Amino acid sequence: MVTLAERSIVATAPPIVGARLDVREVDHGFVLNGEDLPVLEDVSFGVAPGEFVALLGPSGCGKSTLLRLVAGLDQPRHGHLVVDGEEVTEPDPSRVVVFQDPTLYPWRTVWRNASLGLEARGLLKQQRSRVDEALALVGLDRFAHVYPHQLSGGMAQRASLARALVNDPKLLILDEPLGKLDSLTRLAMQSELTRLWQTRGFTVLMVTHDVEEALLLSNRVIVFSDRPARLRADLVVDLPYPRHRDHPELLRLRREILGLLGLGGDW
Amino acid sequence: MTSIAEASPRRLRVSALDEPLPRPALLLAVAGLAWLGAGALVLSWPDVQELERTRLLGALALAFGTLQLAVYAGGWLFAWLARLGRFAPWLIVLAIWLTAWEIVTAKLDLLPLPFFPSPQAFVEVYTDDWRRLGESLLASLLLLFRGFAIGAAVGFVAGVALGWSKRAGYWIHPLMRLVGPLPATAWLPLAFFIFPTSAAASTFLIALATAFPLTVLTWSGVAGVQSAYYDVARTLGANSRFLVLRVAIPAALPHVFVGLFMGLGSSFAVLVVAEMLGVKSGLGWYLQWAQGWAAYANMYGALLVMALMCSALITLLFRVRDRLLAWQKGLVQW
């Protein structure tokens, strides 16, 4: 694994102004086998530019649906999603999603996967070096010409992170990006995510199942109820980075959140 | 990281210097002697049947046997020659088979003529009729290429349209369901009547036979692309043109190649039938013509050429696939 010091590139890349996100009175649902299934109910919250917000909630409560709405992949039934004052109507490369599965295209090398966004927007010819930079940033520069099936799970997820970062997103949308990694890789990727976020300055909206992960990485933790998801709590985590998982404030917040999720007492 | 090392085991093995040089297989020398024996038998045992190319056949067998002995000897010096030893068992069997065939036909006349010609009659087909055979091969290839290219283009476009667009599906789907399963050969009588030339009719039939399997498989390939692939591209700013050309089609390519393989197979069948019934050239026509003259040796000769042609074309298709789908794991080796 490449250490922080080796990546001077992080310092040279210009910092970005993160996007401001406003979620206003959003309702959403699906029709499943002819039955209406409400998923989100009256969800409202705001995210300041450069903030790192974690979304926590029971499995299947609708957090990922909310992310798809923010990304512009789906339209809400009711309510508004506003990024930097503009209503979200379609996907935009300034709001990039990193999914739980790396979803790399198996027919493209790592480099060609990472260059996907530039290619789609016709910018690849002028900005080839940015692909190399992004791969260096996630420590995959030596694996640029390897096919995805030759990568380990952690490497594949880094490649998908590089694919997102090439586009200089103002808002990085993370849908359980570390959910399928082994615990050691997970720890390494957590600190890399923090580092990237701190140096680049984008806003992050991350869904996770892991309370500890949410507390280690984010400025704010938003807790959802069971489906249909409603806001249950909006907690500020005001601790300096890097954080230690045994910090008393973290432990207190952890207990509080687990209580909100219905796992109090025994924990 | 281990997975990357595993990906190129061949390269690792080549550099292993301590490995002893492979020794030439003794079996190859045995094969060479077997072929020399076969040649000697052909030349020394007088024919009962009246045949012209006995001396040529004998000479060919002797030359082939000598070549094998030379390869065996060279195997002590060059590793790549030694590796040819793996063909030895096949070569021995072929020598035995040639000898047996020669004895029961030319030497003892045990099998009824003209249905079972001798090996030298087989050789005679190529020495005396190579021009007509060559022309037939060329005609077949040309007709097949034209029909297959048109059918593949139409089938591919129709398949992508079916998988991608609901409106295209509305029009193409019923047509494909009705016409597709009908064997292309059922159109034969009508096609020869409708089209101005039999070549045009056959091209149409071959195209039809190619297009159907390709349409169905391209369609299922495009329809089966994970929606997550589209989500990723859309969030990165892709338009629908990019989604079709850079996501749907590459993702569907493995299916497309199965379709091309099946289409090529059915195009062979239609080619031969069309040439036998309507077109006045090509290997199918040659077979028919040879049968009219009871020239069974010519039929066997043309069959071998046809088999080699079909096999070569399938091999070519697999080569192209291996190149384009190098990213796939576990490809079948043809």
Interface contact flag, B3 A152, Cβ < 8 Å: yes
Chain A environment of B321 (Cβ under 8 Å)? none
Q: Looking at the structure, do residues A26 and A125 belong to the same domain, yes or no? A: no
Per-residue pLDDT of B165-221, as tens digits, reads 989 999 999 998 998 899 998 998 899 889 999 889 999 999 999 999 999 999 999
pLDDT over 70, % of chain B: 92
The pLDDT, as a whole number, for residue A4 is 44
Query: Which residue of B lies nearest to A120 if distances are taken between CA atoms?
Result: B238
B54-59: long-range contacts, CB 8 A cutoff, minimum separation 24: B54/B106, B54/B120, B56/B120, B56/B123, B56/B127, B57/B102, B57/B119, B57/B120, B57/B123
Q: Would you list the DSSP string of B238-276?
A: --HHHIIIIIIHHHHHHHHHHHHHHHHHHHHHHHHHHHH
- Residue B132: both structure tokens together: 């007509």
Per-residue pLDDT of B254-311, as tens digits, reads 999 999 999 999 999 999 999 998 888 999 999 999 999 989 999 999 999 999 999 9
Q: Looking at the structure, do residues A87 and A188 belong to the same domain, yes or no? A: yes
Task: Give the best residue of B232, B253, B324, B328 to mutate against chain A (max A CB count within 10 A).
Answer: B232
Confidence at B76, pLDDT banded by 50, 70, 90: confident
The pLDDT, as a whole number, for residue A233 is 86
Interface contact flag, B237 A117, Cβ < 8 Å: yes
pLDDT over 90, % of chain A: 37
Q: Looking at the structure, do residues A116 and A196 belong to the same domain, yes or no? A: no
Residues B153/B158/B159/B161 CA torsion (nearest 10 deg): 130
Residue A116 lies in a domain: yes
Min distance A124 CA to chain B CA atoms (Å): 13
Q: Looking at the structure, do residues A191 and A137 belong to the same domain, yes or no? A: no
Work out the average pLDDT over A253-263: 87
Residues of chain B with CATH 1.10.3720.10: 125-324
Q: Would you list the DSSP string of B193-205?
A: HHSSSHHHHHHHH
B125-324 fold:
MetI-like fold (1.10.3720)
- Please give the residue range of the domain that contains residue A53: 1-94+169-236
Per-residue pLDDT of A130-161, as tens digits, reads 899 889 888 898 999 999 988 888 899 989 98
Contact A225, A217 (CB under 8 A): no
ipTM, interface predicted TM-score of the complex = 0.85
Which residues lie across from A30 on neighbouring strands? A37
User: Which carries the bigger pLDDT value, residue A180 or residue B305?
Assistant: B305
Interface contact flag, B236 A117, Cβ < 8 Å: yes
Q: Looking at the structure, do residues A68 and A193 belong to the same domain, yes or no? A: yes
The pLDDT, as a whole number, for residue A34 is 85
pLDDT over 70, % of chain A: 93
Q: Looking at the structure, do residues A157 and A185 belong to the same domain, yes or no? A: no
Q: Looking at the structure, do residues A64 and A35 belong to the same domain, yes or no? A: yes
Min distance B3 CA to chain A CA atoms (Å): 6
Per-residue pLDDT of B149-168, as tens digits, reads 999 999 999 999 999 998 99
CATH number at residue A204: 3.40.50.300
Work out the average pLDDT over B110-117: 88
Residue A224 lies in a domain: yes
Per-residue pLDDT of A90-145, as tens digits, reads 999 899 999 888 999 999 999 999 999 999 999 888 889 989 988 988 889 899 99
Q: Looking at the structure, do residues A86 and A115 belong to the same domain, yes or no? A: no
Tell me, letter by letter, the H, E, C secondary structure of B53-106.
CHHHHHHHHHHHHHHHHHHHHHCCCCHHHHHHHHHHHHHHHHHHHHHHHHHHHH
Residue B234: CB atoms within 10 Å: 23
Min distance B233 CA to chain A CA atoms (Å): 7
Q: Look up residue B17 and give its DSSP letter.
A: T
Confidence at B7, pLDDT banded by 50, 70, 90: very low
Q: Looking at the structure, do residues A140 and A110 belong to the same domain, yes or no? A: yes
pLDDT over 90, % of chain B: 70
Average pLDDT, chain B: 89
The pLDDT, as a whole number, for residue B133 is 93
Residue A222 lies in a domain: yes
Domain count, chain A: 2
